[in-house]
Amino acid sequence: MFKTCPHCQIIKTADQFHRDRQKSDGLSTYCRECRNEMNREAYQQLTTEQRRARNKATYEASREWKLKRQSERYHARKAQQGSSS
């Protein structure tokens, strides 16, 4: 699958885009390279206070995600055990 990045206008393969489940094609709008560049620029424009807040938000989001995954796995395992016996 090929996709054109609207930022660099280069046709790239799907693996050169980040995955984004919210998008209809499951891929991020911009390619990895552009995304990285944008993120870096956006990050550099942040103040120290904003960076701190962002890091905290990222940390909490990933922690929540991990907890959610853990509980999902736990329930999936329980359900499997229940059906096998």
Binding site for Zn ion (CB under 5 A): 5, 7-8, 31, 34
For the bound state, the minimum distance from the C-beta of residue 29 to Zn ion, rounded and expressed in Å, comes to 9
**What is 22-85 written as a DSSP string?**
TSTTSEEEEEHHHHHHHHHHHHHHS-HHHHHHHHHHHHHHHHHHHHHHHHHHHHHHHHHHHHH-
Nearer to Zn ion, 6 or 26 (CB): 6
Nearer to Zn ion, 8 or 53 (CB): 8
For the bound state, the minimum distance from the C-beta of residue 1 to Zn ion, rounded and expressed in Å, comes to 16
For the bound state, the minimum distance from the C-beta of residue 20 to Zn ion, rounded and expressed in Å, comes to 14
What is the C-alpha separation between 52 and 50, in angstroms, rounded?
5
Nearer to Zn ion, 23 or 73 (CB): 23
